[in-house]
Amino acid sequence: MRDRGAIAFLVISFVLVAFAVMIAALIVARDGFGTNSAAWVQAGGSVAAIAGAVWLFRGETKRRRRERRAQGEEVAWAVRFALTNAQLEARTIVLELFDKSAAKSESPRRHWQLRIDNCRNVLDVFAKRLDHIHPMLNHLASNGALLLRELEMDARNALEFIERGERPPMDMAGDIARYEGHFAQLIEQLNARMRGVVKSLDENGDMPPSQRFDVWKIPDG
């Protein structure tokens, strides 16, 4: 459907060139090769040159769109990886939290802080980017960074018990255990929305369907 314009352009260009060549041939057959026939041949050549230039420009535009889309999808995959890594680190913290020997061994404060900071730094970068394939990636990355800040505060509260040689209360441990599920929800949201983005790009020639946004149309009258 979206190639109708290109097909129509090719047909019209071919008809114009063929018409110019036909007129030139008739003039040559009747009067011989002269000024009029040369003018028609030149006109046909000009139409063919313009059509070729437009077709090359269109092909280059489509190539750039494909490249931008490929880059955008790669970044979206990177955001998903960052969220998945944050989920893994949250799970690791929970496993260490429920380890019966945690209160008897060295405090995991430094390790937990490094895990949280590394994941949050990456998600902060993605949250601030302005070239995402869709703005929902900014929101999901920002939500992931906010979750890590909340996890950091809850982990600090649990560490106060661990460093005193005590087990954290079950409700506190339960709150920390739920972060893995929170990140799983963000990952599923990203998967679902990217499926919609990919489908829309497939249907609109690697471009967002902004021309279909009725709210942006100027009302009649």
Q: Is residue 211 part of a domain?
A: no
80 and 188 in a single domain? The answer is: yes
Q: Is residue 98 part of a domain?
A: yes
Q: Is residue 216 part of a domain?
A: no
- Of 217 and 120, the one with more pLDDT: 120
* Domain of 81, in residue numbers: 65-206
Residues in CB range of 219: below 8 A, 6 or more apart: none
As a whole number, mean pLDDT of residues 152-177 equals 86
Task: Return the CATH number at 114.
Answer: 1.20.120
Which band of pLDDT confidence, cut at 50, 70 and 90, is reported for residue 28? low
Residue pair 159/109 in contact by the 8 Å Cβ criterion = yes
Pairwise CA distance, residues 120 & 157, whole Å: 19
Pairwise CA distance, residues 154 & 139, whole Å: 23
Helices (H), the chain: 4-31, 35-97, 109-128, 136-162, 170-177, 179-203
pLDDT at 66: 86
Residues in CB range of 186: below 8 A, 6 or more apart: 83, 140, 143, 144, 147
Indicate whether this model's pTM tops 0.75: no
* pLDDT over 70, % of the chain: 68
Q: Residue 103 above 50 pLDDT?
A: no
As a whole number, mean pLDDT of residues 194-220 equals 74
Q: Residue 7 above 50 pLDDT?
A: yes
Q: Is the dihedral of CA 212, 213, 216, 219 positive or negative?
A: positive
Residue 141 buriedness (CB in 10 A; 0-12 / 13-18 / 19+): buried
Domain count, the chain: 2
Which band of pLDDT confidence, cut at 50, 70 and 90, is reported for residue 137? very high
Residue pair 162/168 in contact by the 8 Å Cβ criterion = yes
29 and 119 in a single domain? The answer is: no
Nearest to 88 by CA among 110, 57, 119: 119
Nearest to 143 by CA among 164, 123, 168: 123
Q: Is residue 220 part of a domain?
A: no
As a whole number, mean pLDDT of residues 120-148 equals 94
Q: What is the DSSP letter of 163?
A: T
54 and 29 in a single domain? The answer is: yes
- Of 149 and 44, the one with more pLDDT: 149
Q: Is residue 17 part of a domain?
A: yes
